[in-house]
């Protein structure tokens, strides 16, 4: 028994020894807000700056979450969204399911779709689906949704197209209607030289025990109603699945938890792929010739978007296991990860590290920046803060 206990202690010691060593930054400034608005118990949607308002979610305890619009000048709440179908949605956070087009804000919550007038906070339209909505994307003035519908004997996955102005929708493409479970991720759009609309999406067929078997990427030509190309069996690690795609020019990027792929949309061929020893986060963006990703351990890595070669690595994060949304304005990279960090996006060097003025609170959301008025906005778990941009 003593031997087993000693081995257990040794394993715990090894795990802690291997864990990334985190040291508190030597230069941290407490930043004083211009204003701050309380938003209860945290886990709010990342702030979205649109014209003169900030769109955010508002947690209402166990009752669910609502939307609010906040005046960017003084922090006053302008409106709160209340005309939901039945009950408040359980949550409204994340990024991939929210879109703004012509003063209309759209989002979905499991089986419900909403479009909100950003001037009034009232629903323009809403509708429901019997099956779960897994993801959405915006292309031109149309929303594309993927539905994955399970039944006792049949699995069906399809892509829907919805007019964002009136909520009318129709099925664009039926991907699967079979006994094999095959989940699909919402497409990204691209217009080719023939002016055809291409929809690129990924699928994750699974084995009966629901371990992911392989991942495929498809390019469907909506204009010609035909499949342009397909890349089979993309995933090396069979227990992982493909995540939502990101498109830049005619290159599309997709990933698993530790693999990243770049595909040429025009050729339907793999441009490059890269594996990571540690787990990559869900957030990535394009800045100049860089593809910048966050990791679950708090690191930020920048790759050459054409080759996948590492350009710089930032590993000064104080808070481990952090995976926050990134935003870039001019040549500065912003994110909240315990502290509010501002990096030089060209070389990954830390420019500023700010601490919340509210005791025991920490910054955790994406940072929205108003360059024209030299302001930035971020959550610190309990408050939305408006702060002056540093020089």
Per-run averaged pLDDT (10 residues), the chain, 391 residues = 40 39 65 88 75 83 77 94 70 65 82 86 82 70 72 64 82 70 79 92 66 75 93 65 80 84 93 81 85 84 96 81 77 91 96 92 89 94 92 86
Say how far apart CA 80 and CA 138 lie, in whole Å: 24
Cβ-contact 260, 242 below 8 angstroms: no
What is residue 120's predicted lDDT score, i.e. its pLDDT?
94
> Which residues neighbour 135 within 8 Å (Cβ) at sequence distance 6 or greater?
96, 97, 145, 146, 185, 186, 244
How much is the pLDDT for 5? 38
Q: 132, 177, 135: which is closest to 154 by C-alpha? A: 177
The two tokens of residue 180 are 């094999």
- How many CB atoms are located within 10 Å of the residue 226 CB? 10
Instruction: Please state the length of the chain.
Output: 391
- The whole-model pTM stands at 0.84
Whether 339 contacts 354, CB under 8 Å = yes
Map tokens 């906005």 to a residue.
377
Q: In order of start, what are the domains of the chain with their CATH numbers? A: 31-70+278-391 (2.40.128.630)
In tens, the pLDDT along 198-226 reads 999 888 766 555 555 567 889 999 999 99
Element (H, E) at 375: strand 375-379
CA 229 from chain center: how many Å? 26
- Between CA 23 and CA 26 the distance in angstroms is 9
Confidence (pLDDT) at 50? 92
β-pair partners for 49 = 54
Using a 10 angstrom Cβ sphere, with 0-12 exposed, 13-18 middle and 19 or more buried, the burial of residue 126 is: middle
How far apart are the C-alpha atoms of 20 and 16, rounded to whole Å?
Answer: 8
Judging by DSSP bridges, how do beta strands 350-355 and 29-30 pair with one another? Answer: parallel
d(CA 54, CA 68): 8
Q: What is the DSSP string of 70-104?
A: EETTT--EEEE----SSS--S----STT-EEETTE
- Rg over alpha carbons for the chain, rounded to the nearest Å, is 22
């Amino acid at each position: 028994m003593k031997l087993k206990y000693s081995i257990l202690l040794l394993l715990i010691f090894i795990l802690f020894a291997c864990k990334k060593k985190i040291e508190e930054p030597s230069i941290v400034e407490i930043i004083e807000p211009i204003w701050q608005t309380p938003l209860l118990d945290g886990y709010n949607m990342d702030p979205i700056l649109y014209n003169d308002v900030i769109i955010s979610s508002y947690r209402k305890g166990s009752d669910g979450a609502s939307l609010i619009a906040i005046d960017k000048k003084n922090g006053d709440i302008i409106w709160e969204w209340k005309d939901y179908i039945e009950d408040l949605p359980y949550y409204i956070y994340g990024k991939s399911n929210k879109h703004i087009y012509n003063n209309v804000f759209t989002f979905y919550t499991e089986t419900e779709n909403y479009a909100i007038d950003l001037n009034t906070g009232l629903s323009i339209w809403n509708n429901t689906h019997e099956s779960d909505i897994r993801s959405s994307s915006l292309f031109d003035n149309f929303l594309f949704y993927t539905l994955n519908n399970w039944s006792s004997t049949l699995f069906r996955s399809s892509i829907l197209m919805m007019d964002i102005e009136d909520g009318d929708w129709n099925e664009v493409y039926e991907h699967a209607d079979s006994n094999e479970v095959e989940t699909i991720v919402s497409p990204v759009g691209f217009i080719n030289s023939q002016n055809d609309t291409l929809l690129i999406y990924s699928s994750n067929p699974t084995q009966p025990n629901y371990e992911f078997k392989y991942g495929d990427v498809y390019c469907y030509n909506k204009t010609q109603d035909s499949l342009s190309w397909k890349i089979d069996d993309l995933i090396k690690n069979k227990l992982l699945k493909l995540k939502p795609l990101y498109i830049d020019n005619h290159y599309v990027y997709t990933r698993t938890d530790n693999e990243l792929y770049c595909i040429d949309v025009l050729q339907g061929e793999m441009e490059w792929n890269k594996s990571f020893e540690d787990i990559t986060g869900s957030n990535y963006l394009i800045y100049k010739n860089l593809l910048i990703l966050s990791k679950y351990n708090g690191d930020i890595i920048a790759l050459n978007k054409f080759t996948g070669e590492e350009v710089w690595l930032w590993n000064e994060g104080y808070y481990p296991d952090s995976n926050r949304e990134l935003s870039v304005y001019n040549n500065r990279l912003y994110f909240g990860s315990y502290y509010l960090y501002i990096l030089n996006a060209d070389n990954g060097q830390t420019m500023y590290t700010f601490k919340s003025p509210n005791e025991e609170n920490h910054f955790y959301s994406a940072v929205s920046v108003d360059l024209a008025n030299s302001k930035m906005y971020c959550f610190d778990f309990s408050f939305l803060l408006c702060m002056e941009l540093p020089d």
